């Protein structure tokens, strides 16, 4: 008897030690660049907000970003000080031009909105973007318009294709798009900017000079991602070059069609060695100063934006302190806002609102008949569609992982799963990984799946609800997974995911899902009570 008691006590002690080991201290807040003392630090947002473009309308700033295949597309942020940002809306509700955007007959990963451009003219907001197709050349070019940044937006798809577009309204009433990769072109649009007026005119044919010390391949010196400005009679076209290593080039001419001269206006990788600041847009403030939002590749965490001051030197917009061509770490905020508060784009969601929060995007066009925030009040209910695996699972709900470290946790109700359903939570990209519950007949199995392979399982898993946590770390691009049956004690399960970028230029995301591998399971539902986000302490 004494031996049994001692053994029981030892088991309890080991479980307690396992609990302590299994539950890493959770970070407490989302990354914010606002230091709270009139200064800010970079990165501006430590998440995937690539290919930024920016405008000012009155006292508000608006920032648009690429979102690839995620729907809704072309996310737009708003700010009053260029430092604190919140979601404003999306320019594209869904992509209707190909059934594969519905995951019907294939998939369209990567082939959504690229390199968005934003402008405001005569009371209308304009967002333009390109959609490379590869399998259906030459792709598409679209412009979306709205009177209100929140929408509704109207999308016009052009018969002409313009890669990485920069929309520009000239002060003489003409409208242009500068576009291209390597070779750059100017195409004139009609006055309303919704149709092409003229033929493309080639304005740049040669690579930019190779900066000192660059090891990027020669083809990387071709420019793309154009944005256009007119200042003091000069046309300026800013373009990135060098790929991930990256730097920013500016072209300058007195005529929109050239000839253009060039200058490198920033070349700096010091904040993240090997990954330079490149691609973005600039904006003039009410006080006459100029600022540039420019991105930096940070691997599977995403392409993160930095805020950098602009100094005009010899009629060139040089970035950095005193125009030294370098980024800034800590710097005085551009705008002092009375009663300004620290703000970040939303993350956590209790699913108590009738409309989906702006922090969420679907992996493809959603089937709106198969999800609901109203069927069970306070829950996101995902009904299962037929799919072989997570890659082809419709209505996978996602939001960005963030750096330096971020954790997402969900509470998931399992009572309404049907035979063939697989419901869970994890991190989506290629590769992906998750913890989920798989139902076969009347038997439930807890599984940890890493890129399609079951790495761990517990058969006969009986709980009617489960808590699942995923933790992503930028230091080694790893993600770890935990589960709980009481919402208090979390246990590691399976193995780590080495986060990658199989879908190029699209960062890893937290993902909620429910799909069915059997037709009899279609319609079975998973109820997510909440999603809670934790960001790193710093």
For residue 20, the surrounding DSSP H or E stretch is helix 2-22
- Degrees to nearest 5, angle at CA 392 with 162 and 102: 50
What string of DSSP letters covers 70-115? -BSEEEEEEESSSSS-EEEEEEES---S-GGGGTSSS--TT-SBEE
For residue 6, the surrounding DSSP H or E stretch is helix 2-22
440 catalytically annotated: no
Residue 139 neighbours by CB distance under 10 Å: 15
**Residue 523 φ/ψ region, left for φ over 0, alpha for ψ in the -120 to 50 degree band, beta for the rest:** left
- In the set 53, 224, 245, 297, the catalytic residue is 224
- What is the C-alpha separation between 315 and 160, in angstroms, rounded? 34
CA separation, residue 260 to residues 63, 205, 208, 235, 430 (Å): 28, 11, 12, 9, 41
Query: If 0-12 CB within 10 Å is exposed, 13-18 middle and 19+ buried, where does residue 223 land?
Result: buried
CA separation, residue 373 to residues 350, 356, 418 (Å): 11, 8, 20
Question: In the numeric block, which tokens belong to residue 438?
Answer: 């798989």
| 364 contacts 383 by C-beta, under 8 angstroms | no
3-state secondary structure at position 440: strand
- What is the C-alpha separation between 162 and 158, in angstroms, rounded? 9
CA separation, residue 401 to residues 230, 395, 478, 535 (Å): 37, 18, 12, 9
3-state secondary structure at position 139: coil
- In the set 51, 81, 164, 245, the catalytic residue is 51
The residues near 325 (Cβ < 8 Å, ≥ 6 apart) are: 264, 265, 266, 267, 268, 318, 319
- What is the C-alpha separation between 270 and 125, in angstroms, rounded? 36
Q: Sign of dihedral through CA atoms 428, 431, 434, 440? A: positive
527 catalytically annotated: no
**Residue 227 φ/ψ region, left for φ over 0, alpha for ψ in the -120 to 50 degree band, beta for the rest:** beta
Residues that are catalytic: 51, 224
């Amino acid at each position: 008897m004494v031996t049994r008691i001692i053994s029981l006590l030892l088991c309890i002690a080991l479980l307690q030690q396992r609990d302590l080991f299994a539950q890493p201290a959770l970070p407490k807040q989302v990354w914010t660049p606002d230091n709270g003392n009139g200064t800010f630090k970079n990165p501006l947002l430590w998440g995937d907000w690539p290919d930024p473009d920016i405008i000012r309308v009155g006292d508000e700033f608006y920032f648009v970003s690429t979102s690839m295949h995620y729907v809704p597309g072309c996310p737009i942020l708003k700010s009053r000080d260029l430092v604190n940002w919140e979601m404003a809306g999306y320019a594209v509700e869904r992509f209707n031009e190909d059934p594969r955007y519905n995951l019907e007959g294939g998939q369209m990963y990567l082939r959504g909105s690229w390199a968005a451009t934003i402008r405001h003219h005569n009371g209308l907001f304009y967002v333009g973007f390109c959609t490379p197709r590869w399998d259906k050349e030459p792709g598409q070019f679209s412009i979306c318009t709205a009177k209100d940044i929140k929408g509704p937006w109207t999308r016009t798809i052009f018969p002409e294709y313009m890669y990485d577009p920069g929309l520009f309204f000239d002060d003489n009433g003409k409208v242009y798009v500068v576009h291209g990769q390597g070779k750059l072109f100017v195409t004139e649009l009609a006055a309303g900017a919704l149709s092409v007026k003229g033929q493309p005119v080639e304005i740049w044919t040669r690579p930019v000079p190779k900066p000192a010390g660059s090891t990027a391949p020669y083809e990387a010196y071709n420019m793309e991602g154009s944005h256009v400005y007119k200042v003091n009679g000069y046309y300026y076209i800013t373009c990135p070059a060098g790929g991930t290593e990256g730097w920013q080039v500016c072209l300058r001419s007195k005529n929109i069609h050239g000839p253009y001269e060039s200058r490198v206006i920033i070349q700096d990788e010091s904040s993240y060695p090997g990954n330079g600041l490149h691609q973005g847009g600039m904006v003039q403030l009410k006080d006459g100063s100029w600022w540039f939002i420019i991105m930096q590749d940070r691997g599977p965490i995403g392409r993160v934006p930095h805020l950098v001051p602009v100094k005009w030197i010899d009629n060139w917009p040089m970035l950095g302190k005193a125009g030294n061509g370098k980024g800034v770490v800590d710097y005085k905020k551009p705008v002092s806002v009375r009663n300004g508060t620290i703000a970040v784009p939303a993350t956590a969601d209790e699913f108590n609102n009738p409309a989906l929060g702006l922090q969420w995007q679907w992996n493809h066009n959603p089937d709106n008949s198969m999800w609901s925030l109203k069927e069970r009040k306070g829950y996101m209910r995902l009904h299962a569609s037929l799919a072989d695996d997570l890659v082809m699972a419709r209505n996978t709900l996602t939001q960005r992982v963030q750096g330096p470290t971020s954790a997402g946790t969900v509470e998931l109700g399992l009572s309404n799963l049907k035979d063939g359903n697989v419901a869970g939570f994890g991190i989506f990209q290629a590769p992906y990984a998750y913890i989920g519950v798989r139902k076969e007949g009347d038997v439930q199995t807890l599984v940890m799946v890493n890129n399609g392979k079951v790495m761990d399982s517990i058969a006969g898993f009986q709980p009617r609800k489960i808590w699942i946590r995923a933790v992503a770390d930028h230091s080694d691009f790893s993600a770890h997974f935990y589960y709980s049956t009481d919402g208090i004690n979390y246990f590691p399960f399976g193995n780590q995911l080495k986060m990658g970028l199989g879908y190029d230029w699209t960062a890893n995301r937290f993902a909620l899902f429910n799909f069915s591998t059997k037709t009899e399971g279609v319609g079975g539902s998973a109820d997510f009570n909440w999603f809670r986000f934790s960001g790193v302490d710093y």
